[in-house]
Amino acid sequence: MGILQQIRYTFHIYKYYYRLAKVDQIARRYLVINSFDGTLTMFGILFSSYLGGIFEPRLVLLVGFSTTIAITFSGFLGSYMSERAERLKSMRELEKQMLKKLDKTDIAEAGNFASYAVGLVDGTAPLLASIYILSPFIAAEAAGLSTNVTVNVYGLIMSGIQLVYALSFLLCFFA
């Protein structure tokens, strides 16, 4: 079996486990919840930096990224462990009803896959939210610009994007 066929086969198996374990519903919830956690944490860091008079992008990025690493790690481990425990509990209950072990079955493998997938989604969500919020400081550090200039330009761009989004929503709503 060639490497391309192996990748296709692995993708097919994961897709099967994804559907069997109904990962999409749980992953969507965790994505929103932990994105919100990451967003609020970064806003807290930005607000405290502002109140503390820290306007140097490098310091804000240092604190922001170290916090992002902690939130990402915490999100992955917390959701993985809780999802794994729930999946094992459900499988044990199903084993009692079926009067047989399900350790080497697709149900067990799908539960294991779901635990990792949900952990990955939950860990990635605050990472993406944090990078999005810290992007003006990343741009300021890369370009050597003042934080104030970068944040103002970023605010204008985001306001424009939000305006386009709001208008498209209204057009869809009233169409």
pLDDT tens figures, 4-15: 999 999 989 988
* Percentage above 70 pLDDT, the chain: 82
Q: pTM for the complete prediction?
A: 0.76
Distance CA(135)–CA(39), nearest Å, equals 13
- Give 163's pLDDT tier (boundaries 50, 70, 90): low
Distance CA(87)–CA(20), nearest Å, equals 12
- Per-residue pLDDT, 88: 93
- Per-residue pLDDT, 24: 85
- Per-residue pLDDT, 146: 67
Q: Which residues are CB-contacts of 70 (< 8 A; sequence separation ≥ 6)?
A: none
CB atoms within 10 A of CB 86: 15
CB 138 within 8 A of CB 43: no
Region 40-53 average pLDDT: 86
Q: Is the pLDDT of residue 57 over 90?
A: no
Name the more confident of 20 and 169: 20
Structure tokens at 90: 């459900």
